[in-house]
Amino acid sequence: MLKKSKTISKKPIRDILTSRVISVSPTTPFSEAVSLMQDKKISCLVVVENKRPVGIFTERDFVMALNDGLQSQDLEIKEVMSRPVLTAGEDMQVYEACDLLLENRIRHLVVVKRSGKIAGVVSLSNITNNIGLQYFVELKDVSKIMTKNVVAIEKKDPVSLVISKMAKHSISCIVVEEGGRPSGVLTERDIVNLFREHGNPSATEVGKVMSSPVISIPPDTPVFEADRIMKQNNIRRLIVVDSEGMITGLITQSDIVKRLEERYVEFLKRILREKEVILEETKKKLSEKIVLENILRSSTDQAIIATDLDFHIIYFNPVAEKIYGYRVEDVINKQVMKIHKLEKVESFRLNKSIATVAKGGIHEYTFKQKKNGDEHYFESKVTGIWNMDGKLAGYVLMTQDVTKRKRAEKNLKQTVDDLENWQRLSVGRELKMIELKTEVEDLKKELQRYKSV
């Protein structure tokens, strides 16, 4: 249960991570890594080099390796691990971590310190353990969130078919059915255990090695009850059956956490509301009429940075990271002035923006950056965030890379200049010809005069 003083939206992942991480080197033998996972009863190993994470090896990576036929005794873990490893800073908040996990369809996020060394790992289990009862009440029963398209096989099918289907659909378990009813289940962890106990179990019939009996629940089971059953039995999924025992769905930790992804945008909105910012007013004030949804979806072509009245950065999208060279975890809650000081930006520039916005205006400016020896051009606009009372509640900076446009304008100007020069030369030649023609006519007349004398 969460403390009342700190809700899930305020909680940094350092508060929920698993700090005891089992790590191996990139040259660790594949079979040794698998044995270590089974002995420690863990679902992943972090691969470390020079005390920094360079990869991660999970139960899913193991299944993928088996599906690809990679299980030689000489195989090293670096050949089958996932890389580059997805990492997050300790200050990242739970909603953001959840969004990363679901977007990348993974269950583990490696958390690193500022030094780059490992601080721990955050998994879907860490998140569900810290969601709190209020969230489960909102979800109601499992029928609203369960996976309805259940991948199933029969007892007589070989384990190789299980491995193939897990790899193809990127799923963590296969339900074994008999006449439409569940008779067992095989999970990624089961496959890991089978490999160690039976060598290559691919040809083994599923019915001989499946986990049975299975725990099932009806569709109207409250989500918090389903989560309780999972935790009590140390499992990550439950089969949902109807009144006749027929399979109707599957509920997993991922299904429970997916709603957090939908609430991620709400979380970002809440940050702004806490600073007395009404988001609908924001989009009216933006000169480009950029709607809030585009801002929170991290516009693909514009850097978006939002601050409160004290210039603490409260929003910093991926494009801003690319243009300004800072990671979001390094600037969130930092004052703009401190970053300006590091970048040696003169204070009058910020003061000019403040003065313009205070009058209800939009401060616009351009700047250049050198990247790989080439000049890049950027256009920026600073506008205000206004609350329902019409009072200034914060600031928004929008920056767009206009290098292509600037280069096109430069090329067009050069073309126009060339045409104007050619036109001037053409006109000059035409005038000279007229002048010469006049002189020839005058000479002809003079010659005729001499002839007549």
Distance CA 389, CA 112 (A): 42
For the stretch 340-374, pLDDT in tens is 887 787 878 888 888 998 888 899 988 888 777 78
The predicted pLDDT at position 4 comes to 39
Q: What's the whole-model pTM score?
A: 0.55
The maximal CA–CA distance of the chain, rounded, in angstroms, is 135
CB distance 149 to 174 below 8 Å: no
Which residue carries 């003065």 as its tokens? 355
Torsion 248-254-256-259 (CA) sign: negative
Measured from the Cβ of residue 293, the count of other Cβ atoms closer than 10 Å reads 10
| pLDDT of 48 | 94
Q: 276-401 domain in CATH 3.60.15.10?
A: no
C-alpha 285: how far from chain center:
28
Please write the tens of the pLDDT for every residue from 277-322. 444 554 444 433 343 444 444 455 788 888 888 899 988 888 888 8
Return the closest-CA partner of residue 315 out of 330, 328, 299: 328
- Rounded Cα distance between 33 and 417, Å, is 68
| pLDDT score, position 120 | 93
Instruction: Output the CA–CA distances (angstroms, integers) from residue 65 to 5, 178, 341, in the order listed.
Output: 45, 29, 50
What does the H/E/C string look like for the chain?
CCCCCCCHHHCEHHHCCECCCCEECCCCEHHHHHHHHHHHCCCEEEEEECCEEEEEEEHHHHHHHHHCCCCCCCCEHHHCCECCCCEEECCCEHHHHHHHHHHCCCCEEEEECCCCCEEEEEEHHHHHCCCCHHHHHHHCEHHHCCECCCCEECCCCEHHHHHHHHHHHCCCEEEEEECCEEEEEEEHHHHHHHHHHHCCCCCCEHHHHCECCCCEECCCCEHHHHHHHHHHHCCCEEEEECCCCCEEEEEEHHHHHHHHHHHHHHHHHHHHHHCCCCHHHHHHHCCCCCCHHHHHCCCCCEEEEEEECCCEEEEECHHHHHHHCCCHHHHCCCEHHHHHHHHCCCHHHHHHHHHHHHCCCCEEEEEEEEECCEEEEEEEEEEEEECCCCCEEEEEEEEEECHHHHHHHHHHHHHHHHHHHHHHHHHHHHHHHHHHHHHHHHHHHHHHHHHCC
The 10s digit of each residue's pLDDT in 188-245 is: 998 888 887 777 777 889 999 999 999 999 999 988 889 889 989 988 899 999 999 9
Class (C level, CATH) for 136-257:
alpha beta
The matching CATH number, chosen from 3.40.50.2300, 3.10.580.10, 1.10.3210.10, 2.120.10.30, for 8-130 is: 3.10.580.10
**Local confidence band at 264 (pLDDT 50, 70, 90 cut-offs):** low
> Measured at the alpha carbon of residue 90, what is the angle toward residues 86 and 91, in degrees to the nearest 5?
115
Residue 2 has what pLDDT? Answer: 36
Q: What is the mean pLDDT of residues 159-171?
A: 92
C-beta pairs of 387-391 under 8 Å, 24+ apart in sequence: 387/276, 387/277, 387/278, 387/281, 388/278, 388/281, 391/276
Confidence band of 428 (pLDDT split at 50, 70, 90): low
AA letter at 16: I
The pLDDT of residue 1 is: 36
Half-sphere exposure of 270 (CA within 13 A, CB side): 10
Q: How far apart are CA 227 and CA 205, in angstroms?
A: 31
Q: In the structure encoding, which two tokens stand for residue 109, read together? A: 């996020």
What is the average per-residue pLDDT within 73-80? 88
Comparing CA positions, the residue from 152, 115, 109 lying closest to residue 14 is 109
Per mean pLDDT, which range of 66-80, 271-285, 309-323, 402-416 is the poorest?
A: 271-285
Mean pLDDT across the chain, nearest whole number?
81
**Cα-to-chain-centroid distance, residue 231:** 29
Q: How much of the chain, in percent, has pLDDT values that exceed 90?
A: 31
Kindly state the percentage of the chain with pLDDT values over 70: 77
**Which own/partner pairs from 72-76 qualify as long-range (CB within 8 Å, at least 24 positions apart)?**
72/30, 73/29, 73/31, 74/29, 75/29, 75/30, 75/31, 76/26, 76/27, 76/28, 76/29, 76/30
The conformational region for residue 298 under phi > 0 = left, psi -120 to 50 = alpha, else beta, is: left
Residue 244: predicted pLDDT? 94
